[in-house]
Structure 1
Amino acid sequence: VSPTSLSWLETSTNWSLDLLTEIAEEFVSVKWTEILSLVIALFGLVGNSIVLWLLGFRTQRSPFLVYILNLAAADALFLGSHFVLCLWDIVGDLDFLILDLLELCILNLSYCVGLSMLAAISTERCLSVLFPTWYRCHRPKHTSAAVCAFLWALQGLIRGAFVALYFLNKNHLDNLYLVLSFVQSGWFLLLTCVLGVSSLTLVLRVQCSSQRRRPPRLYVLVLLSVLLFLLCGLPWGFFYVVWIFSRFPLMSHGLSRLLACVNSSANPFIYFFLGRQWRRRGREPLRVVLQRALGEEPVAGDGARDTSHSNTLDELS
């Protein structure tokens, strides 16, 4: 082989390696949010699946447990569709119709249901604090199941109407599409306000009770979940509200979706973190840790609360 051929071969090899390196760097720089979302969504799916597995086979469920189960289902649905969407987006081009419908229907539906469940959880905690006697004695038995069914059905009807208008694509239906957008945006803003007011009430309640004793674990769990949503889940909702009416990109769409993915993934880890007893040596079953995190503790000074309540979900049921 001549020196000229060797030189050409070496130059060609170096050029190919440089080209592959440049393509890989460009791919990572462009798709870093999708790649990170895939990893986070995978961990979140595992965590929410464990919660659904441990809580789904219980024959008796407390009112709070019903909300947690539906919240985990909404988060798992969001993360699963998000995982598929990001994977297809990275691997190859996805048909625009499938992409649009997947994000319009599944992602937005599960996101709004998760927000609704979180607002319902926070509101119920507020009612139990402000009106403990009524909540313990006069609260309807199947309120939690009825509220969850209503929230799923409401979002399903709204998303079904959006899909119907999407396929009809008639000019004279633009006003109806705008009305549905106003309804959805108003519902989002209403739930955000309810979530903020109820969370502020819980913060004041925890602050008052912490002067006498350690605040109940259940209140801390709700407050951490709400704080996580306000930091990570809320930007995606505001992104859509602003984009629908002004077409102004409030922030990067990929970043807002990444934050929403973090919000849906972190709730199971909050449950297990609060339920674990760090001073105890050895491993505990996950079911015991989850029951401790979701159990209701007696609060000092609440005369209407029965002091015989324990921290387990069995006695709550």
Structure 2
Amino acid sequence: MAESPPAEQLESVLNTTVQLSANWSLDPLSEATGKSVLDYWIIILSLVIAVIGLVGNSIVLWLLGFRTQRSPFSVYILNLAAADALFLGSYFGLRMWVIVGELNLLLVLLWPCLLGLPYCVGLSLLAAISTERCLSVLFPLWYRCHRPKQTSAAVCTILWALPGLYWGVFVALHFLNKNHFYNYFYPFLCFVEFGWFFLLTCVLGVSSLTLVLRVQCSSQRRRPPRLYLLVLLTVLVFLLCGLPWGVIDVVWFFSGSSLKRYRIFRLLACVNSSANPFIYFFLGSQWRKRGREPLRVILQRALGEEQVGGDGGRDTSNPNMWVNYPEDENKMLRQGSP
């Protein structure tokens, strides 16, 4: 086997790469000639949603990163907003690259890496958030008294490191052994990715279902906590909009069928990453109050953090003094039931 393959072999490798990455790739506009106008509208709509979601997640990143005091739960939301912003920014940038340029080997390789990393991190964070909320409902005393303080930061670090290591190995193996990559390494890496996807989906489904049942039982006596509604709505949006993309990848890999309407799943994935900031601000808003509240106040209310002080447990004299006080969760703990 020659060390430097000729140009014909390099072209064959590129064609194979494009074919195997068709589920991730962005078809150039020149290749879309003769296709339905609906495809163009889906592309335009996905770009618009990506820009709107990028702005919304950037606001959440700014507020949680620099304008509020962090709590264990807000650390998860901060990392989830970072993953969504990375996904939307990568999608928008790569799509514009395709429009103004052409599909090449570098783009085909960057597309699954830059989108697969934040997608996997987002799913992992949702599974961690749902599982932790489930534990806080099932074992409230243990959760409040024995949970390590740095659990959120440690979990987020691990959930970013594992997908980063996976995609780093993916890129390294591709460049170190191009000739045998798609024959030997690519199927194995796909099985690892799909196994992780299946595991996280099962964890997310079981923990969310448990949380729904417990909240449903407790809601018969009082209003469900806003924090748990936030978790359930975020998970529901992912199951409806984000999960189909991963499922379609699995179906494509094992069936080898051509998915001509793959753009609609990219659009749904953009909706999933863009919807979370709107969920936060919707749940944190108090519609009965007149006047406009700062976004920081609305976001902290959605995350279960209230203003506390000496005036009946609330301090309205100093709007800059904020502490972490999950009010709804403490009410549930005092009443002795989840």
TM-score by length of 2: 0.78
Task: Give the partner amino acid of 2:285.
Answer: R
Q: Deviations over 1:253-285 (max 9, x none)?
A: 211111000000000000000000000011000
Matches within 5 A, 1:199-214: 199-214=208-223
1:159 aligns with 2:167: yes
CA contact (8 A) 1:242 1:250 kept: no
Measured in 1, the distance between the counterparts of 2:269 and 2:181 equals 34
- In 2, Cα distance between the equivalents of 1:290 and 1:56? 12
Structure 2 residue matching 1:283: 3-state secondary structure: coil
- The percentage of counterpart residues that share the same residue type is 70
The verdict on how the C-alpha distance between 1:172 and 1:266 changes in structure 2, with shifts beyond 3 A counting, is closer
The aligned counterpart of 2:3 is none
Conserved? CA contact 1:165–1:177, under 8 Å: no
Instruction: Name the CA distance, whole Å, in 2 between partners of 1:82 and 1:55.
Output: 24
Which residue number in structure 2 is paired with residue 113 of structure 1? Answer: 121
Counterpart AA for 1:176: F
Can you list the C-alpha shifts for 1:8-56, whole angstroms capped at 9, x where unaligned? xxxxxxxxxxxxxxx9997844422211111000100010000000000
Structure 2: stretches of 5+ with no match in the other structure = 1-31, 305-325
Residue 225 (structure 1) aligns with: 234
Q: 1:142 aligns with which of 150, 163, 181?
A: 150
Distance 1:176 1:103 in 2: 18
SS at match of 1:277: coil
Show structure 1 runs of 4+ deviating over 3 A: 23-30, 299-306
Could you say which residue in structure 2 is the equivalent of 1:33?
Answer: 42
- Indicate the residue corresponding to 1:298 in structure 2: 328
- Counterpart residue identity of residue 214, structure 2: R
**Aligned-pair RMSD on alpha carbons?**
2.3
Taking the aligned partners of 1:129 and 1:116, their CA distance within structure 2 comes to 20
Contact 2:67–2:296, Cα closer than 8 Å, also in 1: no
Structure 1 residues 39, 166: closer, same or farther in 2, change over 3 A?
Answer: same
1:1-317 correspondence runs (5 A): 28-57=37-66, 60-89=69-98, 91-167=99-175, 168-171=177-180, 174-249=183-258, 252-295=261-304, 296-299=326-329, 301-303=332-334
Structure 1 portions without partners, runs of 5+: 1-22, 307-317
TM-score, length-normalised on structure 1? Answer: 0.83
Taking structure 1 as reference, are residues 303 and 282 closer, same or farther at Cα in structure 2, changes over 3 Å only?
Answer: closer
Deviates more, 1:99-108 or 1:285-294: 99-108
Matched AA of 1:119: A
Which has the larger helix fraction? 1
Give the C-alpha shift of residue 194 in structure 1: 0.5
- Residues 53 and 274, structure 2, Cα contact 8 Å, conserved in 1: yes
> Aligned with 2:300: secondary structure?
helix
AA aligned to 2:328 is P
Q: Number of matched residues?
A: 283
| Matched AA of 1:201 | T
Distance apart, 1:304 and its partner CA: 7.7
Shift of the 111–301 alpha-carbon distance from structure 1 to 2, 3 Å rule, reads closer
Shift of 1:193: 0.5
8 Å contact 1:242–1:249 — kept in the other structure?
Answer: no
Range with bigger deviation, 26-35 or 155-164: 26-35
Shift in CA distance, 129/170, structure 1 to aligned 2, threshold 3 Å: same
Matched-pair contact (CA < 8 Å) for 1:112–1:188 = yes
